[in-house]
Amino acid sequence: MFLPIFNRSNRMTIKGPMKETLRPANRPGSALLRGLAVLCILSLLGGCEMGPSMFLGARDREISDSTQAVQSARNDVERAKAYSSRGTAYSEKARYSRILKLIPSEEYERLFDLAMKDHNQAVALNPSSAEVYFNRGQANYDRGTLDLVYNKEPWLVDPTTKSWLDAAASDFEKAIEKDPKNSLALDRLGLAYEQAGEEDNAVRAYTQELALDPLGKQRLADAYCFFGFRHQQQKEFAAAAAAYQKSTEFGVADDKSCPYNPLENGVAIYTTETREYDKAWEMVHQAQKVGRRISPEVIERLKKESRRTN
């Protein structure tokens, strides 16, 4: 079971060799959403029905079962699958325990090291498997994005965190190379690139996903909104406005992924920063068509600056 910080996908089925690796998607939200992380996790785990002891107990059983499977495996394919499963259990145990502050950082590192040792062994035993690359990529992605939860400046990625995200992207690329129609691997690849700040690569992955799964359209809306937020925080206003505009072309961004209204932010930037009033009014009209609210203060400022009423 994967522990999402912010769930953005409710897909229930997946076809192909990685069907057993289905996990809900996640992207760390902004600092404003960081405090909801634990509540989201507990809710997704079933609240009171599955507390820490039950969840960790289940992971321990998976570790034990996978250890037995390693020992009883009849060939490298079976052995690789068992190592990969045990690696996933170690990783999820580490992540859950850390976010609920049940273990010190040293124990988190130890568990994650065990996870990566198993994932590496799985890849070595069965390098032709898309699943083992995907699972290792997911572990690296989980590691990197959990670090981002504690980042006070979510638009910046420190080198250590980026190293985990880069490793995740590399493994997802490998999984896709072996299973080109796997939309879940493309989805995770886009998320990894997005959080690493590699905008063009993220858009490429989501565009490929869109050809296979309509979720790609929502991903693109969310991603461009997040890019707009990132550029805005770095005072790159022209790039921010362009990203917000692009976000609206794919629909309405999920407010849990991008808690900033791309239409309102775009209007504000075009009004006060770039002085592109025609573009600002275009976004106002677009907001009216899709029923998205833009605050009266922003509208009044636009009217005043543009000397127009619509």
13 is a domain residue = no
The structure tokens listed for 55 are: 């969840």
So what's the pLDDT on residue 27?
Answer: 54
Q: Please write down the long-range contacts of 227-235, taking CB distance under 8 Å and 24 or more positions apart.
A: 227/199, 228/258, 228/260, 228/262, 228/265, 228/266, 229/30, 229/155, 229/258, 229/260, 229/265, 230/155, 230/197, 232/260, 232/265, 232/269, 233/153, 233/155, 234/155
So what's the pLDDT on residue 289?
Answer: 87
146 is a domain residue = no
Q: What percent of the chain has pLDDT over 90?
A: 68
Specify burial of residue 170 (Cβ count, 10 A radius: 0-12, 13-18, 19+): middle
| Most confident of the ranges 83-92, 158-167, 240-249, 290-299 | 83-92
pLDDT at 206 over 70: yes
Alpha-carbon distance of 304 to 290, in angstroms, equals 24
Residues 59 and 41 sit within 8 Å (Cβ to Cβ):
no
**Range scoring the smallest mean pLDDT among 113-117, 255-259, 291-295:** 255-259
190 is a domain residue = no
270 is a domain residue = yes
* Rounded alpha-carbon distances, angstroms, from residue 177 to 86, 133, 141, 168: 24, 10, 18, 14
299 is a domain residue = yes
Alpha-carbon distance of 83 to 69, in angstroms, equals 8
State pLDDT tens for residues 12-28. 223 333 433 334 445 54
Instruction: Kindly indicate the confidence band of residue 280, based on its pLDDT and cuts at 50, 70 and 90.
Output: very high
| 27 or 43, greater pLDDT | 27
Alpha-carbon distance of 48 to 34, in angstroms, equals 21
State pLDDT tens for residues 70-105. 999 999 999 999 999 999 999 999 999 998 999 999
Residues 126-136: b if buried by 16+ CB within 10 A, e if exposed: beebbbbbbbb
Alpha-carbon distance of 141 to 188, in angstroms, equals 8
Please tell me what DSSP assigns to residue 7: B
CB-based contacts of 72, cutoff 8 Å, min separation 6: none
152 is a domain residue = no
309 is a domain residue = yes
The residues with which 26 forms a beta bridge, in sequence order, are 7
Number of domains in the chain: 1
Instruction: Kindly indicate the confidence band of residue 4, based on its pLDDT and cuts at 50, 70 and 90.
Output: very low
CB-based contacts of 69, cutoff 8 Å, min separation 6: 78, 81, 82, 85
Alpha-carbon distance of 39 to 83, in angstroms, equals 31
So what's the pLDDT on residue 7?
Answer: 32
So what's the pLDDT on residue 158?
Answer: 82
So what's the pLDDT on residue 31?
Answer: 35
136 is a domain residue = no
- Domain range spanning residue 255? 236-310
